[in-house]
Structure 1
Amino acid sequence: MANSPTSRAAQILGRPLTLGGLTVRNRLAMAPMTREYSPGGVPGPDVAAYYARRAAAGVGLLITEGTYVDHPSAGTSDRVPRFHGEEPLAGWGRVADAVHAAGGRIVPQLWHVGMARDAGAPPVPEAPPVGPSGVPVKDSEPGRAMTLDDIDDVVAAFASAAAAAEARGFDGIELHGAHAYLIDQFLWAHTNRRDDAYGGDLLARTRFAAEIIAACRGAVSPDFPILFRLSQWKMSDYTARLAESPQELEALLAPLAEAGADVFHCSTRRYWEPAFEGSGLNLAGWARKLSGLPTVTVGSVGLSSEFMSSFRGEPADVTGLDDLLDRLEREEFDLVAVGRALLADPEWAAKVLDGRTAELKPFTPEALGSLY
C-alpha cells in the first residue's frame, strides 16, 4: 500500500464491488435523504440533475430519497416522490437514465412511514396512520392496528414497486426498514405489541420484513440486488435498540438474509461508534460478521457532527477519513454511504478520490434546501 494519502484513499475507496448481478465502480454510496422536491409525488428534471451530478462526480451507488409505495397510508407529504403511477415512474425512469449516462448506478429506497404518518396529511388525507399495533412512535394520536389483509396489501405494494424498479432500469432496490418507519415498527418491541404470528419474540417480529423481502425477491430477477436498511436508533428515541447483543442481532438478520436480502445498510448516527460493548465493530461490521453478506456503513462520514444537529441550524466542519479508510481496508464493511457531505459538496467523491481534501466544503444548513 502506498504511503501517499491520495493514493491510499483512491486504492481503498476506488475498488469495484459486485452485489448480486450489479458491479459498483467504487465503495462510495450516496445515502438516502428526504428532500421534498417532487410536487405531486413526481420527480422532475431537477431531481434527475441532482442525482446525475453526484454520479458524474464519482459516486458509485446512489440510493434515492425514500419513495412511497402504493398504499394509501404509506406517506405523509405530497412533495415526497412516489414509486407508483405512470407519471412518477416515468420520472424515475428518466432519473435512472441520467445517472447511468453519468457513469453511476442507482437504487430507489422503497418506503412506508406507518405510524409516522400525520393524520389528515397528503397524499391521501383520509388514510389513517397504520402500524403493527397502532402505537404511535412519538407524542401523537394512536392509529389503527393492521389487519392481516392490510399486511398482505402492503407486502404486495412493496413487491409491485420492486418490479417497477427493475422495469424502469434501476440497478436494485433498498427497503427502508429503519428509523421507526413501518417495517421497523414491526421489528421494534415498543411499537409491535401483536399477539399473532407477526408479534411476540424477536423472530416473530421479523416475519413482516421477511415477507416483504421474499415478495420483492419473487418479483425481480434472481440477481437483482435487494438492500435492506436497518437501525437500532429511532427518530423519536436515540437510545432504542432492536438487539442488545450480537446473538440477538444474528437472530434478527438471519431470517432477512434467508428471505433474499443481499446487502444490509446499517444506519448509525456516527459510524465510528461500537455497536456492542467489548468490540470496536460498528453495526455494519457486526452485520457483516454475523450474516456473511456485504454491508453499508453510514453516519457523519467526513463531518464533525451528527445529522440532527443540521436540522437545528448548526453547521458541521470537514473531518479526516483515516479511521474510515482503516475500517474499510480491514473489511469491517463494504460500502460507505455519505449524506450531508454530498449535499454540501456535490464534488465530494471526486475530491476525496483525487486527494483534493483541502477543497472539501463544510456543511451548512443552507445545503438542506439545495435544489441540485
Structure 2
Amino acid sequence: MNTFTGRLENDGRATPANLFAPLRVGKLHLPNRLAVAPMTRVSATADGRATGQMADYYEAFAAGGFGLVITEGLYTDKAHAQGYLFQPGLADDAQRDAWRPVVERVHAQGGRIVAQLMHAGALSQGNPHRPTTKGPSAVLPAGQQMAFYRGQGQYRMPEAMTAHEIRAAVEGFAQAARRAQQAGFDGVEIHGANGYLLDQFLTAHTNLRDDRYGGSLDNRLRLTVEVIQAVRQSASAGFVVGVRSSQGKVNDFTHQWPGGQDDAARIFCTLGAQAIDYLHTTEFEAWRPAFGESGPSLAALARTHASVPVLANGSLHDAARAEGVLSRQEADFISLGRGALTHADWPARLRAGMPHEEFDRGLLAPIADLDNAARHRAQVQLA
C-alpha cells in the first residue's frame, strides 16, 4: 500500500485554491487537482493506432491547464479485449509507437498522461479480431449496444472464459502496461468499472462461475487483483498504477452493489491493499450518497477504506461542486468528462474567471468521434 502527501488542510470551505493545489500520486507530482476523465472517442485507425488528430485532442487538455490527462480505454490484446471499431489499443508495438508523439506533445505542454487499459469482455460490440465475445459466464448483457460507438441492437451472448483465456487476458494487461511505459506514459489506469470485463467478474449476476473466480466477493475480485499484480510486476518502479471502479455500467446505469456500504468497504479495502497509486471512482453525480438517500458518496467510501489518493468523477464540471468534493475531503482530485469536452481549457478559464458553457450533446452525436465533434463545432460557429 502506498502512502502519499497532498491531502487538503482547511476549514471545510470550498475555495478555488483547492482545485489548484499540487498533489503527489505515487512518484508523480501533479500541479493541480484537475484531471481529464477517460472518454471513448473511437477515432483511431482501423488497426488501433493513435493519429495526429488524437494528438491534437490530448495536447489541448494539457495546454488548457489540466494537470493529468487519462486516455480513453485502450484495448489490451488482439483476442477479445477490443470493445469498439476504431478504438485505439496498446496490443502491439505499432500501436505503442503511435502513442509516442501523443505523449510527447502532452509532456511538452507540462501535462502528465496515463493510459487507461480496458478489456471489454461481454460488452464488445466491434472487434475485428474475433467473431465471438467472452465474459465470466454465458449471460446475455442487459441493454442495447451504443449507437454513438457504431453499435446496433442487443449485445451478443458471450462465451464463458476458460482458465487459459483468463490467464491470457491478465497477460494482455501486463504487456499493454509494459508498452505504455515504453511509449513514455506516466502510468496506467486499470479499467475495473462501467460493466467491462473486470466489472463483469465482480458482478454476481454476470458471474455465475463455480471456480476460484466465482461465488464469494473475494473470488469475484480475484481477477482484478491478479491484473493489478501482473501490471505492477510488468512495469518499473515509479510507474503509476491506478484502478477505476464504479457501481453503474454503460449497459446497466442504475446498478448498485447489493451489499451496500459493506460491499464498498470490502472492495476498497481489497483494492487499496494492492500496490496501486490511486483509485478512480465514477458515479453519475459524484457528490450523491452511494446508497440510499443519505450517507457517504462512493468516492468518500473509497477514501475511507483505501490509503491512496481518490480521484472522483461524475458531473463535477460545476466548479463549486468540484471544490466542495475536495473541501469536504471526499476525494483528493477530480476528473472531468463533459466539462473537458466543452472546454479543453477548463482550468485556465476557471483561473481567469471566465464562464463555462453548458455541454453540447451534439459533440457526441451521431458518432462520438473527433470528426463529428469538429463538424459540429464548425456548424455552430456558422449558425
TM, length-normalised to structure 1 = 0.88
Letter in 1 for 2:138: G
Offset of residue 142 of structure 1: 1.9
CA distance in 2, matches of 1:245, 1:133: 24
C-alpha contact (below 8 Å) 1:32/1:63 kept by paired residues: yes
Answer yes or no: is 1:8 the counterpart of 2:15.
yes
C-alpha contact (below 8 Å) 1:155/1:212 kept by paired residues: yes
Of residues 191, 194, 200 in structure 1, which corresponds to 2:209?
194
Letter in 2 for 1:270: E
Correspondences of 1:159-238 after superposition (within 5 Å): 159-238=174-253
CA distance in 2, matches of 1:102, 1:190: 45
Of residues 43, 53, 56 in structure 2, which corresponds to 1:46?
53
Spell out structure 1 runs of 4+ moving beyond 3 A: 277-280
2:273 is paired with a residue of what secondary structure? helix
C-alpha contact (below 8 Å) 2:93/2:179 kept by paired residues: no
C-alpha contact (below 8 Å) 1:343/1:370 kept by paired residues: no
Of residues 119, 123, 145 in structure 2, which corresponds to 1:116?
123
Partner of 2:368: none
Identity %: 37
Letter in 2 for 1:128: T
Two-structure CA RMSD over aligned residues (Å):
2.1
Cα deviation 1:28-61 (Å, max 9, x = unaligned): 0001111111122111111111111110110011
Offset of residue 280 of structure 1: 4.2
Relative to structure 1, the CA distance from residue 142 to residue 78 in structure 2 (aligned partners, 3 Å threshold; closer, same or farther) is closer
Partner of 2:38: 32
Partner of 2:373: 370
Offset of residue 206 of structure 1: 0.3
Of residues 340, 343, 347 in structure 2, which corresponds to 1:342?
340
2:249 is paired with a residue of what secondary structure? coil
Answer yes or no: is 1:134 the counterpart of 2:138.
yes
Q: For CA contacts below 8 A with separation 6 or more, give which structure has more relative contact order.
A: 2
Cα deviation 1:294-328 (Å, max 9, x = unaligned): 111111122xxxxxxxxxxxxxxxxx432331220
Partner of 1:314: none
Query: Aligned pairs, how many?
Result: 347
CA distance in 1, matches of 2:267, 2:226: 14
Q: Which moved more, 1:150-159 or 1:214-223?
A: 214-223
CA distance in 1, matches of 2:353, 2:82: 41
Offset of residue 123 of structure 1: 2.4
Relative to structure 1, the CA distance from residue 42 to residue 109 in structure 2 (aligned partners, 3 Å threshold; closer, same or farther) is same
Letter in 2 for 1:135: V
C-alpha contact (below 8 Å) 1:173/1:225 kept by paired residues: yes
CA distance in 2, matches of 1:263, 1:270: 20
C-alpha contact (below 8 Å) 1:116/1:136 kept by paired residues: no
1:327 is paired with a residue of what secondary structure? helix
TM, length-normalised to structure 2 = 0.86
C-alpha contact (below 8 Å) 2:22/2:30 kept by paired residues: yes
Offset of residue 141 of structure 1: 3.6
C-alpha contact (below 8 Å) 2:243/2:278 kept by paired residues: yes
C-alpha contact (below 8 Å) 2:27/2:238 kept by paired residues: yes
Q: Give the unaligned 5+ runs of structure 2.
A: 1-8, 143-153, 365-371, 378-383
Partner of 2:285: 270
Cα deviation 1:108-159 (Å, max 9, x = unaligned): 11111000023xx4321x3410011121222434221011100100000000
